Structure 1
Amino acid sequence: MTDPFENLLPDTRRALHHRIATAQAQGRAPSLVGAVVRDGRTVWTGGRGAVAGREPDGDTQYRTGSITKTFTAVLVLRLRDEGLLDLADPLDKHLPATGAGEVTIAQLLAHTGGLAAETPGPWWERTPGELRRALPDVLGEEPFRHPPGRVHHYSNPGYTLLGSLVEQLRGEPWETVLRREVLEPLGMDRTTTRHQAPYADGWAVHPWADVLLPEPAQDLGLMEPAGQLWSTAADLGRWGAFLTAGDERVLAPETLAEMRTPAAAPGSDSWDAGYGLGLQLVRRDGRTLAGHTGSLPGFLATLWTSAEDRLAAVVMANVTAGPAVAAVAAELVRIVAEREPVVPAPWKPLPEADPELLALTGPWYWGPTPYTLRLAAGRSLELTPLGGAGRASRFRAEKDGTWTGLDGYHAGETLRAVRSDDGSVSHLDLGSFVFTRQPYDPAAPVPGGVDPQGWRPLP
């Protein structure tokens, strides 16, 4: 059956075109291209300006800068999911003698390792990679600016270390591993480490006159995993679709959800910017966006995804400074999300229902607080507070008959149905919290016991 909402409405398309046209004109970019992905499919692409005398399109390559870091992070998470490393491992366990071995892999992914933001020596983005032939050339004699694990401090050398980690554990160059494990499965044949025609040249625009200066396009050498890639709006749209929904050939949706979780916990619910495991996080227009910005001399790029809206947006320009591409990409998401909100999938009954699982559903009480437990697809469970305020979580079924929390306070925690001697369910154990069928059920092993006189009026 054809989806009547497969294509964007004309008014939406015009609004998207107007937004990138305004960004290109006001930002004085030689060219700018944008794209929007919905439900895994590119539904709009637009370009302004000129590349080699023609308006850019979805197949025009631009340099992506630090969007490259999202690819490196995915390669590292693949190693973790295969059991070849643990995110809590110190780097030295797998890549010894770097001078930064105490930093954990998770800290490198989240930029909380305390490493310097840039390399020592000349500006690495505008100089040949041959100047940094070994890791000591990237890190310098004093690689740390903060104690590891204390603060978020963005570090480009940190992602060089992660790229070297991938090479160490795979026994192949980072580029080779990336091509085989990520780009080929996702059909991203226009994402490369060296530019391939048609591509945009990088330019700087004079701040006080409408004239241009060409920027050098250096190969970054060891710094490749931090910012080398060239790509197109069409290919980054495929990447955005993957980051939104996952692809079992590359990474499971659960791992991508982990990447989107703030790694350096914000101080309150009012945060508007953060960082997960290789993904930047921002809050704009009431929604959380995950993705990454990117820049190298002559280029600006941004990819944002909104998992809730099933949307992704890409904006790229061939200019060193000018259009606020991060804000423009966020606005492309907003335009589509507000004008054409997600149409929910039709409700369907479960294909099967295990009577023992059905018996677990319904009201449960954590102390006096009522919750409901619902059965979902794949034997998964959803725990929700009845009053609206409380710790809601979804749980994935495990082979041993337990469930693992996927989100919220109980993420990673184990839920067990504890049975009495007669085989009936006595209570639920969730990370040592006891949930009972009645508030403080005296027949259940409530920690601390239940007063034998039971409930009573205030004396």
Structure 2
Amino acid sequence: MVAAVVRDGRAVWHGSRTSVDGHGPDEDVQYRIGSITKTFTAVLVLRLRDEGLLDLGDPVERHLPGTGVGEVTVAELLAHSGGLAAETPAPWWERTSGDVRPELSDVLGEQPFRHPRGRRFHYSNPGYTVLGALVEKLRGAAWEDVLRAEVLDPLELVRTGGRPRAPHAGGWAVHPWADVMLPEPAEDLGRMAAAGQLWSTTGDLARFAGFLMRGDDRVLSAASLREMRTPAAPQEAADVSNGYAYCLGLEIRHQDGRALVGHSGSLPGFLACLTMGVEDDVAAVVLANCTSGPLVTSVAADLVRIVAEAEPRIPEPWRPAHEIDANDLELAGQWYWGTHAFALRLTADGLASLEPLSGKGRGSRFRASGDGTWTGLEGYYAGELLRAVRRPDGTVDHLDLGSFVFTRQPYEEGASVPGGVDAGGWRGAGAF
């Protein structure tokens, strides 16, 4: 087992147990990472979206005709909500040469669906194979070649790829009732590569974790990565109770009151986990070369918790905004939705936040749209427009947020409050 801890976007600790080829494995030793590969594939798909080559709501048929699952959308494939089968038709694809399934039809089988699309989360390895084929179709190149050119090389992940290169660990099965081992086959997954082919190291995955938390405009923006980290699949009751949700190529697990985002992976002979406490700015990578045994997701979660609790994140130093529009500054301060008090703040990162001043209520950050409106980024107001409604003289009458009216005073007299404001105004008990 080998592990790394990431803080402030870089690896700050590395540790290992036992040995590979007679020496302790270090951050340069390769292991198979299984389904962490899916996160790399999702990054490629989001790049296509950001370039305008597809929309996440597009049916697959629009870009990749003839699959037999063409009504499933790109987003549903990313979130495992397309209703596709969890696995390929027999034989067990993880222990079978990829030559057995040279075509997508061999991966999907004659009955590719197990559930109505869009209705539930159902993890699907074939679904990510379809996404890999989609990348190849729109880029006109092999999935791994696209991955290297667009992600691995820019992020300097030089020890990540589809084939092992020394030094690398061998995969082993450990007997459940005896202290003996059996070597596992390391098959080339062929068509299934986009779902689980990659080999990598803790050094490379630490750099990848830093990218997933911060973004890199050469590969994918911070905004698109926030979208990837947002739950996107319908949750089953069991998942809700376990604090689990699936996003776009990433998982969220809740443990010890902390939201951990990342992905786990396994193939015969290997276990892997990359997990991030984004709010704590701590990530952990854990890799092992055995089929079963160590709970790598728990080890990774423990590493994040230990660092976050022992060395809490120090807030970034305050800094002023570079510049601010006078019309925007006019919006800052206290507002009322009916009788509920809110505060609108403008922050140095160019965002606005609207939060209740007391108790629990609907709040959100907003990003300026460039036309005088602001778009909600989270919660109830995600995607909703906030705009200032001005009087003929240019002064602000009220804020409109998805038809909700916010005024400077509770039900402010003279403001455009739907239903009007009683002409008698506010009154005490003696008026009744």
Q: TM-score, normalised by structure 1?
A: 0.91
Aligned residue number for residue 230 of structure 2: 261
Greater Cα shift, 428-437 or 330-339: 428-437
1:136, 1:386 → 2: CA distance? 56
Deviation readout 1:103-133 (Å, 9 max, x if unpaired): 1111111111110000002000000001101
Match of 2:16 in 1: 47
Partner of residue 122, structure 1: 91
SS at match of 1:116: coil
1:265 shift after superposition: 4.8
Q: For residue 415 of structure 2, give the secondary structure of its aligned residue in structure 1.
A: coil
Deviates more, 1:137-146 or 1:341-350: 341-350
Q: Does the alignment pair 1:112 with 2:81? A: yes
**How many percent identity over aligned positions?**
65
The answer to which of 444-453 and 124-133 deviates more is 444-453
The residue that corresponds to 1:379 in the other structure is: 350
User: Match of 1:390?
Assistant: 361
| Residue type of the alignment partner of 2:212 | L
* 2:169 corresponds to 1:200: yes
Given candidates 250, 271, 276, the residue that maps to 1:305 is 276
* Matched position secondary structure for 1:46: strand
* Aligned residue runs from structure 1 range 31-430, under 5 A: 32-266=1-235, 272-430=243-401
- Could you tell me how far apart the structure 1 residues matched to 2:144 and 2:413 are? 62
Matched, 1:436 2:376: no
Contact 1:66 1:294 in 2 (8 A): yes
Please say if residues 376 and 383 of structure 2, whose CA atoms lie closer than 8 Å, have aligned partners that are also in contact: yes
Q: Does the 8 Å CA contact 1:244/1:311 hold for their aligned counterparts?
A: no
CA deviation after TM superposition for structure 1 residue 57, in Å: 0.6
C-alpha separation in 2, matches of 1:265 and 1:121: 28
Paired position in structure 2 for 1:23: none
- Report if the CA contact (8 A) 2:121-2:234 is conserved: no
Shift of 1:313: 0.2
Q: Which runs of structure 1 show a deviation greater than 6 angstroms over 4 or more consecutive aligned residues?
A: 267-270
For structure 1, which runs of at least 5 residues remain unmatched after alignment?
1-31
Deviates more, 1:296-305 or 1:91-100: 91-100
SS of equivalent to 1:312: strand
Residue type matched to 2:360 in 1?
A: A
Once residues 51 and 418 of structure 2 are traced to their aligned partners in structure 1, the CA distance between those partners, rounded to angstroms, is 38
Question: Aligned AA for 1:436?
Answer: T
User: Which secondary structure does the structure 1 equivalent of 2:17 belong to?
Assistant: strand
Deviation for aligned residue 1:449: 2.9
Paired with 2:422 and 2:133, the residues of 1 have a C-alpha distance of 60
1:264-307 alpha-carbon deviations (Å, 9 max, x no partner): 25589866111011101100111101100000000000000111
Give 3-state SS (helix, strand or coil) of 1:377's partner.
coil
User: Which whole-Å CA distance do the structure 2 matches of 1:267 and 1:321 have between them?
Assistant: 26
* Alpha carbons 1:378, 1:397 under 8 Å: kept: no
Aligned length: 428
Deviates more, 1:376-385 or 1:110-119: 376-385
Aligned letter for 1:177? V
Deviates more, 1:427-436 or 1:336-345: 427-436
Amino acid at match of 1:189: V
Whole-Å Cα distance in 2 between the matches of residues 423 and 270 of structure 1? 51
Shift in Å at residue 90 of structure 1? 0.9
TM-score by length of 2: 0.96
Quick check: 1:442–1:450 contact (8 Å CA) kept in 2? yes
C-alpha contact 2:98 2:187 (8 A) present in aligned 1:
yes
User: For the residues of structure 2 that align with 1:241 and 1:349, how far apart are their CA atoms?
Assistant: 26
Aligned residue identity for 2:355: T
Specify the SS of the correspondent of 1:65: coil
Deviations 1:361-414 (A, max 9, x none): 101111111100011124321111011311111111222222111222212222
Query: What letter corresponds to residue 347 of structure 2 in structure 1?
Result: A
* Structure 1 residues 202 and 271, CA gap change in structure 2 (3 angstroms): closer
Aligned-residue Cα RMSD (Å) equals 1.5
